[in-house]
Amino acid sequence: MATRPIIRFPDPRLRRKAEPIGDVDDEVRTLADDLTETMRAAPGIGITAPHIGILKRLVVIQLETDPEPHIYIDPDIVWASADAIRHVEGSVSMPGVTDELERSAKVRVRYRALDGSMREEEAEGLMAVCLQHEIDQLDGIFWIDRLSKLKRDRLIKRFEKLQRIEVR
């Protein structure tokens, strides 16, 4: 396992659609391991291959209560509930800033597991929020794109200020 560099906003790769992986091989398993290590080091609870500049459809999520990370290869949301929840979100590619977003309270996701099998999983609450957030990323939708223009502009200015302070 290796920790890989995380690309930072406004890198254009964060807004590009990731390509399907298809067959699961040792290269994909190594990428999943590296993403897990990178996410933990960030620290974060979710990460995608595009966060490290690899435009492939791979997601790793590990909530505080999870003993092991959840790995989703080529995930797609096949159903989302009409009822919504609000949750504070952020990104490993835009550290130091967060804002509240509204998302579906429950989702069903179809994906390939590390063993290559196709699976479906239902999630609710924080896990549902994380899945929607990370699958958006795979689709080239950076989380701030879901904010109003005013909130997005304010958040970008706050992030830019944090970056200037970090450089000093």
What are 38's two structure tokens?
């990178």
From 122, 134, 160, 166, the catalytic residue: 134
Alpha carbons 64 and 109: distance in angstroms, whole number? 21
Give me the average pLDDT of each 10-residue run along the chain (168 residues).
Answer: 95 97 97 98 97 98 96 98 98 97 98 97 98 98 97 97 81
Domains in the chain: boundaries: 12-167
DSSP string of 86-98?
EEEE--TTSTT--
Backbone angles phi, psi at 84, to 5 degrees: -120, 160
DSSP string of 37-76?
HHHHHTT-SEEEGGGGT--B-EEEE--TT-SS-EEEEEEE
Active site residue 134: yes
Q: Count of CB atoms within 10 A of residue 47's CB?
A: 29
Q: Residue 90's pLDDT is what?
A: 97
Alpha carbons 103 and 7: distance in angstroms, whole number? 25
Alpha carbons 9 and 17: distance in angstroms, whole number? 16
- CATH architecture under which domain 12-167 falls: Alpha-Beta Complex (3.90)
Q: Residue 164's pLDDT is what?
A: 87
Q: Residue 167's pLDDT is what?
A: 67
